């Protein structure tokens, strides 16, 4: 079982500070780096810096809508040089200003492009249990598998019973189960309205609840030979995960 922690690459100093927190967690195998258009530092650039630190595997996000399929994708060589050979391909949210042009490429075509140019790399994609019905998401997952995806990173779950339902839908498919921190009522409402997340009865927006659930998610993943993907939001990495990953 692998344990992955997401870092927010605002700038190199922020990445270094988060890595110093992760360094105190002995069970972390890799860090995941989203590509956020509101920051100048791209996810793939942050991944190169993480690999230069030498300890963790780096898994940058690739925003498919930004990739120009008409020409070679520039980050491939830089990632090669840094020793990065794992990527998570997502559609990506539309940028909030015109400084960040998009091409409109889709996830399936970008996965195929990367696998064509770097067949030995591990390419991952997203699994979202909330955006559509079971059948629609199942079919989309299959299309990604057909394109060459090795495993899936999920949107955050808050209930291992729901994780069990999705696990049964994809026997034999490696999954990184997403777990995040929702520690205020305002944040909970955001997840309900924006992401259509499902919270169990008894959910509490507290660190204590999330520490317990982190342990439950790790146990679930271990039983199913899967992995866990932690996304800290508005909490310290060690404050949340120090007890379960320390």
CATH class of 3-245: alpha beta
**Residue 133 has what pLDDT?**
84
Whole-number Å distance between alpha carbons of 213 and 179 = 8
Q: Give pLDDT tens digits for 68-86.
A: 999 889 899 999 999 999 9
State yes or no: pLDDT of 92 exceeds 90: no
Write down the number of H helices and E strands in the chain: 9, 8
What 3-state DSSP class applies to 90? strand
Q: Give pLDDT tens digits for 103-119.
A: 889 999 999 999 999 99
**Residue 99 has what pLDDT?**
64
Q: Is 90 left (phi over 0), alpha (psi -120 to 50) or beta?
A: beta
Q: Long-range CB contacts (< 8 A, 24+ apart) of 239-245?
A: 239/207, 240/181, 240/207, 240/210, 240/211, 240/214, 241/5, 241/25, 241/211, 241/214, 242/24, 242/25, 243/211, 244/27, 244/211, 244/214, 244/215, 244/218, 245/3, 245/25, 245/26, 245/27, 245/28, 245/214
Domain boundaries, the chain: 3-245
Query: In 10 A of CB 245, how many CB atoms?
Result: 21
**Is residue 98 very low, low, confident or very high in pLDDT (cuts 50, 70, 90)?**
low
Alpha-carbon dihedral of residues 164, 222, 170, 92, nearest 10 degrees?
Answer: 90
Q: Give pLDDT tens digits for 114-150.
A: 999 999 999 999 999 998 888 999 999 999 999 999 9
Is the pTM of the predicted complex or chain greater than 0.85?
yes
> For residue 122, what are the β-bridge partners?
86
Which among 66, 145, 79 has a CA at the least distance from the CA of 118?
Answer: 79
Whole-number Å distance between alpha carbons of 231 and 223 = 21
State yes or no: pLDDT of 96 exceeds 80: no
**What is the mean pLDDT of the segment spanning 186-208?**
93
What 3-state DSSP class applies to 45? helix
**Residue 100 has what pLDDT?**
66
Using CA atoms, how far residue 146 sits from 88, 125, 141, 246, in Å, is 16, 12, 9, 38
**Residue 97 has what pLDDT?**
64
């Amino acid at each position: 079982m692998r344990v992955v922690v997401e870092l927010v690459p605002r700038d190199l100093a922020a990445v270094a500070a988060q890595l110093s927190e992760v360094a105190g967690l002995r069970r972390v195998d890799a860090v995941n780096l989203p590509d956020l258009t509101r920051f100048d530092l791209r996810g793939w650039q942050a991944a190169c810096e993480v690999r230069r630190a030498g300890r963790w595997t780096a898994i940058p996000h690739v925003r498919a809508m930004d990739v120009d399929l008409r020409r070679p994708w520039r980050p491939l060589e830089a990632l090669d040089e840094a020793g990065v050979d794992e990527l998570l391909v997502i559609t990506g949210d539309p940028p909030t200003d015109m400084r960040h042009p998009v091409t409109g490429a889709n996830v399936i075509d970008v996965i195929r492009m990367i696998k064509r140019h770097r067949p030995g790399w591990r390419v991952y994609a997203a699994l979202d249990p909330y955006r559509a019905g079971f059948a629609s998401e199942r079919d989309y997952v299959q299309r990604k598998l057909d394109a060459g995806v090795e495993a899936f990173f999920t949107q955050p779950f808050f209930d291992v019973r729901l994780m069990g339902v999705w696990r049964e839908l994809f026997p034999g498919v490696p999954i990184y189960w997403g777990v995040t921190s929702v520690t205020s009522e305002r944040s909970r409402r955001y997840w309900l309205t924006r992401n259509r997340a499902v919270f169990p009865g008894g959910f509490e927006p507290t660190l204590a609840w999330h520490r317990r659930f982190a342990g439950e998610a790790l146990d679930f993943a271990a039983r199913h030979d899967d992995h866990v993907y932690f996304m800290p939001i508005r909490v310290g990495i060690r404050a949340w995960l120090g007890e379960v990953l320390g």
